[in-house]
Structure 1
Amino acid sequence: MLELAELLEGEGFNCFTATSVKLALQHLTRHPDIALVITDLRMPEESGMSLIKRLREHTSRQHLPVIVTSGHADMEDVSDMLRLQVLDLFRKPIYHVRLLETLNNLFP
């Protein structure tokens, strides 16, 4: 994710990176102006899906747009993502042009 953050910062986006769900939630608490979460589906300890579920349960952040990256998503994961209103799924390796198009449409 550090490489992705560097790419996005080079395009003018401010980024925070987290290596765990716990750290991601801390960033979201400390920085209420965060407008988007990009998470990997597979992470140490807890999954990206766990992060999304916790966001959706938190009333002040339940509508925060989420993009998922994964090289291992299966149909059950996709079904869960639809139910949790994930904005988009990017298979790894991430096609950067498509991601930037998505972000530029989201944040014109």
Structure 2
Amino acid sequence: MPQKTILIIDDDNRNIFALKAVLKAKGFDCLSATSAQEGFSIMEKNENVAIVLMDMMMPDMDGYQAMAAMKKSDKLQNIPVLAVTAQAMVGDKERCLSAGAAGYVSKPINVDELLIQIENFTR
């Protein structure tokens, strides 16, 4: 079975760097994009993307818009998205989930919690 790939979409390279370091140490294959559009093109070309870690607050297209666009694409609609956000206010988790996220992780990221959520989708 091919290695499950995690796609990290975040406009901040420091976040990408930190997440990649943690996930690679746990044996995951990681790709990254600094915009939703770049992420879409990676998903279009790579059949092994098992899950997307999506920053919800990005310029150009935010995570909510990106998830809506993925839902309209035959090729992308079944790829689960974990919403990654610094917004941890009451209602933010529900808003992310109702927008189509499969899960939700707030920043700063609790790595153990993140890994549990990823494992649920990459089995």
Please indicate the TM-score interval, normalised by the length of the shorter structure.
0.7 to 0.9
Give 3-state SS (helix, strand or coil) of 2:49's partner: coil
State the match for 2:9 in structure 1.
none
Unaligned runs of 5+ in 2: 1-15
* Bigger share in strand: 2
Q: Confirm or deny that 1:12 pairs with 2:27.
A: yes
With the length of structure 1 as denominator, give the TM-score of the two structures. 0.86
User: How many equivalent residue pairs?
Assistant: 108
**Deviation (angstroms), 1:79:** 4.5
State the match for 1:66 in structure 2.
81
Runs of 4+ in 1 over 3 A off after TM superposition: 73-80
- Cα distance in 2, alignment partners of residues 68 and 52 from structure 1: 9
Instruction: Output the aligned Cα RMSD.
Output: 1.8
Give 3-state SS (helix, strand or coil) of 2:31's partner: coil
Deviation by residue 1:28-60 (Cα, 9 ceiling, x = unmatched): 111122111101101122101111111111012
Unaligned runs of 5+ in 1: none
Q: 1:89 aligns with which of 82, 104, 111?
A: 104
Q: Percent of aligned positions with the same letter in both sequences?
A: 24
Change over 3 Å in CA distance of 1:76–1:59 after alignment to 2:
farther
Q: 2:118 aligns with which of 90, 100, 103?
A: 103
State the match for 1:23 in structure 2.
38
